[in-house]
């Protein structure tokens, strides 16, 4: 849908970047930045919900993040487990559904157990969905989807002459999720880093120099305000989008 002025994005997706630099600037170990990043996650759940956003996707751990030092990977997994344990009762209280995208079967067992418990306890909520991208990468997502699609073709559950995007998209991790409307990347980097490459085909992007631990409700509101001023054309012309235009 084209934006009307002041539109609130239905689905916000965030590349949370800058935790390490936040810590280094203060002479702290990198993990302190991640710890502070977890508190920003908590704040952003409340802040997006208050604005009327219905889906929040957070890029919490990429397929490529396994290449970091083992101590940092271990600490990130520990923080994830801590976050899930701490948040369970709040997510239930606030009627927030938890979902994941990514190859979560490769995460440590303790994290998987906590994820399964939280997903099961919140599966029936419909107003707001928190999506954690974990062991996620768009390229592996395409590989997984292509395999599932080929299997469905072989089984005859997809017609051989069905060339539609919709049929293929039903095999992505995001099959039952709307595409992101707004993608935010913090920390002054201008990259998409293998994040929702297909789903963000028509998303609006906002890049901010603010490091993730410092990203707060004011920065979120600024990004949403910028989004509200954009004209989303989805391949059409500006003229065609005018309400009285003959198409
Ligand atoms: C990028 O900062 C951040 C990550 C790779 C991990 C993000 C993880 C969290 C915020 C905590 C765990 C998440 C949840 C949902 C509980 P960076 O380390 O690449 O920063 P740098 O570019 O400054 O080094």
Q: Does the beta carbon of 114 sit less than 6 angstroms from any atom of ligand 1?
A: no
pLDDT band per the 50, 70, 90 thresholds, residue 238: confident
From the CA of 22, give the closest atom in ligand 1: 23
Q: What is the pLDDT of residues 91-134, one digit of tens each?
A: 999 999 999 999 999 999 999 999 999 999 999 999 999 999 99
pTM for the model stands at: 0.95
- Residues 18 and 213: beta-carbon distance below 8 Å: yes
Q: What is the pLDDT of residue 246?
A: 53
CA 51/CA 228 separation, integer angstroms:
12
Q: Which of 65, 94, 144, 194 is catalytic?
A: 65
Of 15, 17, 84, 214, the residue with max ligand 1 atoms within 8 A of its CB, to mutate for a pocket test, comes to: 17
Atom 22 of ligand 1, residue of closest alpha carbon: 18
Q: What is the pLDDT of residues 55-74, one digit of tens each?
A: 999 999 999 999 999 999 99
Q: Does the beta carbon of 65 sit less than 6 angstroms from any atom of ligand 1?
A: yes
Q: What is the pLDDT of residue 183?
A: 98
Q: Does the beta carbon of 34 sit less than 6 angstroms from any atom of ligand 1?
A: yes
Q: Which domains does the chain have, with CATH numbers?
A: 11-239 (3.40.1180.10)
CA 123/CA 111 separation, integer angstroms:
18
Say if residue 50's pLDDT is above 70.
Answer: yes
Q: Is 181 a catalytic residue?
A: no
- Residues 205 and 190: beta-carbon distance below 8 Å: no
User: What does the pLDDT average to over 36-49?
Assistant: 98
Of 60, 107, 118, the residue with max ligand 1 atoms within 8 A of its CB, to mutate for a pocket test, comes to: 60
Q: What is the DSSP string of the chain?
A: -PPPTTPPPSEEEEE---HHHHHHHTT--HHHHHHHHHHHHHHHHHHHHHHT--EEEEEEEEGGGGGS-HHHHHHHHHHHHHHHHHHHHHHHHTTEEEEEES-GGGS-HHHHHHHHHHHHHHTT--SEEEEEEEEE-HHHHHHHHHHHHHHHHHHTSS-TT---HHHHHTTSTTTTSPPPSEEEE-TT----TTSSTTTTTT-EEEE-SS-GGG--HHHHHHHHHHHHHPPP-TTS-HHHHSTT---
Atom 13 of ligand 1, residue of closest alpha carbon: 60
From the CA of 82, give the closest atom in ligand 1: 16
pLDDT band per the 50, 70, 90 thresholds, residue 240: confident
Q: Is 65 a catalytic residue?
A: yes
Q: Which of 17, 19, 135, 181 is catalytic?
A: 17
């Amino acid at each position: 849908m084209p934006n009307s002025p002041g539109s609130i994005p239905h689905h916000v997706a965030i590349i949370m970047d800058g935790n390490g630099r936040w810590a280094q600037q203060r002479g702290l170990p990198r993990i302190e930045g991640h710890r502070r990043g977890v508190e920003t996650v908590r704040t952003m759940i409340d802040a997006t919900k208050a604005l009327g956003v219905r889906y929040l996707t957070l890029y919490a751990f990429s397929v490529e993040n396994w290449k970091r030092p083992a101590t940092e990977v271990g600490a990130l997994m520990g923080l994830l487990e801590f976050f899930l344990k701490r948040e369970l009762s709040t997510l239930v209280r606030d009627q927030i559904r938890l979902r994941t995208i990514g190859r979560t079967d490769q995460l440590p067992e303790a994290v998987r157990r906590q994820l399964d418990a939280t997903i099961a306890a919140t599966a029936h909520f419909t107003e707001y969905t928190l999506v954690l991208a974990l062991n996620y990468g768009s390229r592996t997502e395409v590989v997984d989807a292509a395999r599932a699609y080929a299997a469905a073709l072989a089984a005859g559950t997809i017609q051989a002459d069905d060339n539609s995007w919709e049929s293929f998209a039903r095999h992505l991790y995001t099959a039952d999720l709307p595409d992101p409307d707004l993608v935010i990347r913090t920390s002054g980097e201008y990259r998409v880093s293998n994040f929702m490459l297909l789903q963000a085909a028509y998303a609006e992007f906002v890049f901010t120099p603010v490091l993730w631990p410092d990203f707060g409700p004011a920065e979120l509101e600024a990004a949403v305000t910028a989004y509200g001023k954009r004209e989303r054309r989805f391949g059409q012309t500006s003229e065609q989008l005018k309400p009285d235009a003959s198409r």
